[in-house]
């Protein structure tokens, strides 16, 4: 037994020593970094994300891998856990960049962590005075407005949040027969960064553009349990359009109180914080009718195999859109690695990283796994078509689809 | 009934007791006298288990007390009325007395003992619904002793019962101590008021800096003024 | 705030809701007050009795579908067990050390068990917010313009019964006598023949029972269980205890109701966003003029 242990140890040591020489193309792998919150409170988002990444990588490698420089190599994910903490994200980012020598770094879910990590990156391309890190970085969520503009090396595939809200407000007005809303009421989860930014940057802009005033505006905190005061104010305003800039925990509490007080706005819209199975689990009937934007509807035929695999691994019947975004992100990386003309050698790492960045920045009409064509925008955000989802009869249903129009009004 | 053999106690580096040996026979009043800081209160706190001796042994009622928890020592009938009386300030006089009987379960006897204590100290009966913190110095002392009696002590250890009392009350207090003795309670009395204590005691130990410097029959010590002055200074 | 025809109705309604909400805060604060009053230790792990009580309620009522009274009892028992663990790990072995040492130990217990609980939720449910069964969530009583939630009435009633039971124990039982003696001072309690260590263990158990009950009721009124409830309970519970007077049980009860009332009324009258800041500011003002809190008096007057 001891003998075996020694052997394993020796093998480990020699593998370690041999690693630099055998790495990359000759080793038959291409290295990709990943950081997500895998433990701690952020794990509820991080785990569905890493599962999406892993399913894609397993599919890619099972199909032979990635064609680089005329040879198929396997995608090797260097996965780290940032626990949704900015400082931890920063040290992971440095480690992935300098000691793991990954070609690109994917992650993370939380805007405030991505923002901090990406603060390490070069601000201006080809600026010799800028000593920032030069490694392509891509998050599959980080919805806060403007995060990808931090650096030319930073990208996102989740779309542009303000575009979603802008389109959704147009759609509800169209559904309302084009008539003006008599009473617009908004609620903000004021101590949560993403919700606060969505309210200030997106919703307020959309309201201003239309010269709409909110008849009532209330705030609550993410961890609140009593919403009676806010909902009374909402009730007095008799809203026909109710805007939620808040995540599911608070949404559910507020909407249950709305049901208790008999408040039934004609239209209720939310940001992607409502994209969680907990809305239905916790809110039941009270959350029915809310509409929110999504990048991938979980029951779309294009993501069926992903949903099945996800359900098998988690026991969940519902898959949030960001699992799909992570899955799509891995295929996007594969596409970029295959088309950027990289060599995948230790000594070509710097130029390879630059090639990957350039390929990401110039991405045009790439057909994603759902068959939609994606193009990278100037801010580092992929512009993409959105679907709008509602909750009805105890499940999520499409409310509006780019090609099918209104579905469950 | 109580015997200490070469008991030593340290507070960290400081040796508070440097080997105390003393004996209390049943039915006696034994007094520990000495100047401030001589180790009198420390001796009592050690006997009642609040302090752990670093060496030496304590025997009470035929049992060795080393390592016994303080509440078990109390339950064995060795009752300590600490200096400053330590009343339960926010409880009523009646509750304080009943607290003294906390370890007993004989309800009828407790009631009759309560009657006895209130006969002995009628002021306690008068004030039975008042909070202890509202009592005067003399009343506090009566309550402390009354409370101790409620636990039916085999041996009663009184720490400075005359402290802070008016001269007339001091006299009354020493009288009550003799009365207790005549009723059969064994008493270990710690006092700075050496003359008062020696007048009621059978046997006396004089402590200085954590050591017994003299032990003697109380009556003969009382007459040996030069010896007393030598060890007690101003006393 | 809008000064319109609904102003007074909403003002009163908000006060009613606030007092009801405050009864849960009171239950959370009692555990802190007991331990502070008896030991002078800030038991930062106490919130975990709330979190684990909530979890026990979730498993027993949500998962095993046990009747409400039985699952409530499960929550209480779980709170007691967690409190015993705290006593065993964070108090008993290090009780002779400086009082900061047990406090740091309870801080460690809080952080560690919150992480463990989060992992348990994740392992069992793959999520951290779970529906907590409350069949009466939509039931409400209407009195003219005013509305009272049935689940709040239940919560308040349970709180009243538990507090009454606590008072009975403190003033009418042998354990209560021992607790009051320990509160007066450990030395004097020893000299009165009280087994101080055992009494303190009972105090931890009582505190845990209140924590577990609060955890169940918190999940019940919010319709939601989550592993972070302990942190919330620790913050609100400590706040309530200091408001009421450190270590005072009547203070914890009145402090809880005052806190719930102040939170909701300041949200209604002034600002939602600065609700906690306003409540904190009021507390600060109160402590400037009454440093001992609403009910705090001298050290011995703890329970």
What local confidence, expressed as pLDDT, does residue C297 receive?
59
Long-range CB pairs of A119-127, under 8 A, 24+ apart, other chains included: A119/A150, A120/A90, A120/A93, A120/A94, A121/A150, A121/A151, A121/A153, A121/A154, A122/A151, A122/A152, A122/A153, A123/A150, A123/A151, A123/A152, A124/A152, A125/A152
**Minimum Cα–Cα distance from A188: chain C residue:** C273
CA angle in degrees (0–180, nearest 5) for B164-B166-B172: 105
Q: Is the pLDDT of residue A53 over 50?
A: yes
| Contact residues, chain C, for B71 at CB < 8 Å | 189-190, 193-196
What local confidence, expressed as pLDDT, does residue B38 receive?
87
Subunits with 3+ Cβ pairs within 8 Å of A are: C
The pLDDT tens digits for B111-128 are 999 999 999 999 999 999
| Contact residues, chain C, for A228 at CB < 8 Å | 13-14, 17, 264
**What residues in chain C have their Cβ under 8 A from chain A's Cβ atoms?**
2, 6, 10, 13-14, 17, 21, 115, 118-119, 122, 126-131, 137-138, 140, 147, 149, 218, 221-224, 226, 228, 232, 264, 267-268, 271-273, 276
Half-sphere exposure of A17 (CA within 13 A, CB side): 6
CB contact under 8 A, C221 and A225: yes
Q: How far is A260 from chain C (nearest CA, A)?
A: 6
| Contact residues, chain A, for C129 at CB < 8 Å | 44, 248-249, 278, 282
Q: Is the pLDDT of residue A1 over 70?
A: no
The pLDDT tens digits for A164-208 are 999 999 999 999 999 999 999 999 999 888 899 899 999 999 999
- The dihedral over CA atoms of A167, A168, A171, A172, expressed in degrees to the nearest 10, equals -150
| Contact residues, chain A, for C10 at CB < 8 Å | 229, 232
Give the Cα separation of A10 and A5 in Å (integer).
Answer: 8
Q: H helices then E strands: how many in chain B? A: 10, 10
* Mean pLDDT value of segment C12-16: 93
What local confidence, expressed as pLDDT, does residue A18 receive?
43
Residue B74 near chain C (CB below 8 Å) = yes
CB contact under 8 A, C181 and B102: yes
CB contact under 8 A, A229 and C267: yes
Query: Above pLDDT 90, what percent of chain C?
Result: 68
Q: Between B86, B89, B102, which is nearest C193 by CB?
A: B102
Please state the pTM of the whole predicted model: 0.87
Give the Cα separation of B6 and A25 in Å (integer).
Answer: 83
CB contact under 8 A, C14 and A228: yes
**Minimum Cα–Cα distance from B95: chain C residue:** C177
Residue A339 near chain C (CB below 8 Å) = no
Q: How confident is the model at residue A3 (pLDDT cuts 50, 70, 90)?
A: very low
* Mean pLDDT value of segment A119-128: 94
| All structural domains of chain B | 2-87+154-232 (3.40.50.300)
| Contact residues, chain C, for B151 at CB < 8 Å | 192-193
The DSSP secondary-structure symbol of A181 reads: P
Q: How far is A315 from chain C (nearest CA, A)?
A: 8
Cβ contact C–A (≥3 pairs, < 8 Å)? yes
Q: Read off the tokens for A37.
A: 């919150």
What local confidence, expressed as pLDDT, does residue A110 receive?
92
């Amino acid at each position: 037994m001891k003998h075996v242990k020694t052997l394993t140890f020796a093998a480990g040591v020699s593998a370690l020593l041999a690693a630099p020489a055998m790495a990359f193309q000759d080793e038959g792998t291409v290295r990709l970094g990943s950081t997500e919150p895998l433990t701690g409170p952020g794990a509820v988002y991080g785990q569905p994300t890493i599962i999406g990444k892993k399913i894609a990588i397993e599919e890619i490698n099972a199909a032979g891998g990635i064609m680089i420089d005329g040879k198929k190599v396997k995608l090797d994910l260097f996965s780290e856990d940032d626990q949704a903490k900015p400082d931890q994200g920063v040290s992971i980012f440095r480690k992935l960049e300098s000691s793991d020598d990954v070609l690109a770094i994917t992650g993370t879910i939380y805007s405030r962590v991505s923002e901090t990590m990406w603060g390490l990156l070069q601000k201006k391309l080809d600026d010799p005075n800028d000593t920032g890190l030069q490694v392509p970085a891509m998050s599959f969520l980080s919805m806060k407005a403007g995060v990808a503009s931090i650096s030319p090396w930073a990208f996102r595939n989740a779309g542009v949040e303000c575009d979603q809200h802008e389109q959704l407000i147009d759609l509800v007005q169209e559904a309302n027969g084009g008539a003006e809303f008599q009473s617009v009421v908004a609620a903000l989860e004021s101590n949560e960064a993403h919700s606060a930014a969505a309210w200030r940057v997106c919703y307020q802009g959309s309201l201003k553009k239309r010269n709409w005033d909110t008849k009532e505006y209330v705030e609550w905190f993410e961890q609140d349990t009593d919403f009676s005061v806010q909902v009374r104010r909402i009730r007095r305003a008799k809203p026909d359009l109710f805007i939620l800039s808040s995540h599911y925990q608070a949404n559910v509490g507020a909407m249950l109180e709305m049901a208790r007080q008999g408040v039934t706005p004609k239209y209720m819209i939310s940001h992607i914080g409502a994209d969680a199975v907990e809305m239905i689990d916790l809110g039941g009937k009270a959350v029915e009718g809310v509409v929110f934007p999504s990048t991938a509807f979980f029951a779309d035929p294009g993501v069926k195999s992903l949903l099945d695999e996800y359900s098998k691994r988690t026991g969940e019947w519902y898959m949030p859109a960001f699992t799909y975004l992570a899955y799509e992100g891995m295929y996007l990386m594969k596409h970029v690695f295959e088309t950027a003309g990289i060599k995948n050698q230790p000594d070509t790492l710097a130029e390879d990283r630059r090639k990957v960045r350039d390929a990401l920045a110039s991405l045009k009409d790439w057909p994603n796994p759902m068959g939609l064509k994606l193009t990278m925008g100037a801010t580092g955000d992929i512009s993409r078509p959105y679907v709008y989802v509602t909750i009805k009869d105890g499940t999520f249903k499409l409310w509006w689809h780019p090609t099918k129009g209104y579905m469950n009004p | 009934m109580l015997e200490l053999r070469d008991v030593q106690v340290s507070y960290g580096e400081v040796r508070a007791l440097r080997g105390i040996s003393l004996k209390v026979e049943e039915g006696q009043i034994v007094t520990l006298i000495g100047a401030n800081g001589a180790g009198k209160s420390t001796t009592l706190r050690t006997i009642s288990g609040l302090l752990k001796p670093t060496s030496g042994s304590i025997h009470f009622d035929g049992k060795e007390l080393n390592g016994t928890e303080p509440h078990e020592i109390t339950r064995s009938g060795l009752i300590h009325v600490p200096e400053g009386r330590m009343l339960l300030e926010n409880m009523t006089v009646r509750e304080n007395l009943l607290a003294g009987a906390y370890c007993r379960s004989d309800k009828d006897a407790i009631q009759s003992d309560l009657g006895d204590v209130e006969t002995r100290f009628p002021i306690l009966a008068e004030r039975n619904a008042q909070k202890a913190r509202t009592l005067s110095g003399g009343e506090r002392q009566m309550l402390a002793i009354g409370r101790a009696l409620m636990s039916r002590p085999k041996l009663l250890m009184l720490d400075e019962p005359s402290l802070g009392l008016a001269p007339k009350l001091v006299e009354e207090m020493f009288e009550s101590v003799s009365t207790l003795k005549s009723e059969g309670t064994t008493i270990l009395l710690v006092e700075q008021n050496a003359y008062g204590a020696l007048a009621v005691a059978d046997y006396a130990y004089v402590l200085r800096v954590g050591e017994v410097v003299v032990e003697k029959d109380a009556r003969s010590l009382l007459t040996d003024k030069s010896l007393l002055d030598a060890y007690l200074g101003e006393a | 705030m809008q000064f319109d025809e609904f102003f007074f109705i909403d003002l009163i309604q908000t006060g009613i809701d606030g007092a009801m909400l405050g009864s849960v805060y009171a239950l959370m604060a009692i555990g802190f007050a007991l331990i502070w009053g008896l030991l002078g230790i800030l038991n930062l792990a106490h919130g975990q009795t709330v979190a684990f009580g909530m979890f026990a309620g979730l498993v027993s009522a949500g998962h095993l579908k046990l009747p409400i009274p039985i699952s409530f009892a499960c929550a209480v028992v779980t709170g007691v067990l967690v409190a015993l663990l705290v006593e065993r790990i964070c108090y008993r072995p290090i009780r002779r050390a400086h009082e900061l040492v047990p406090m740091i130990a309870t801080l460690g217990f809080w952080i560690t068990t919150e992480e463990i609980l989060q992992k348990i939720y994740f392992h069992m449910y793959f999520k951290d917010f779970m529906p907590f069964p409350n069949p009466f969530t939509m039931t409400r009583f209407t009195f003219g313009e005013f509305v009272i939630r049935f689940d709040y009435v239940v919560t308040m009633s349970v709180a009243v019964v538990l507090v009454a039971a606590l008072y009975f124990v403190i003033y009418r039982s042998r354990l209560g006598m021992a607790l009051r003696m320990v509160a007066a001072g450990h030395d004097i309690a020893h000299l009165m023949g009280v087994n101080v260590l055992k009494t303190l263990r009972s105090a931890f158990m009582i505190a845990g029972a209140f924590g577990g009950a609060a955890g169940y009721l918190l999940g019940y009124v919010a319709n939601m269980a989550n592993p972070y409830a302990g942190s919330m309970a620790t913050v609100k519970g400590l706040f309530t205890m200091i408001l009421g007077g450190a270590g005072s049980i009547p203070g914890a009860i009145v402090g809880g109701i005052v806190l719930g009332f102040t939170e909701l009324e300041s949200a209604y009258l002034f600002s939602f966003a600065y609700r906690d800041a306003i409540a904190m500011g009021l507390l600060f003002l109160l402590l400037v003029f009454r440093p001992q809190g609403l009910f705090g008096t001298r050290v011995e007057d703890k329970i």
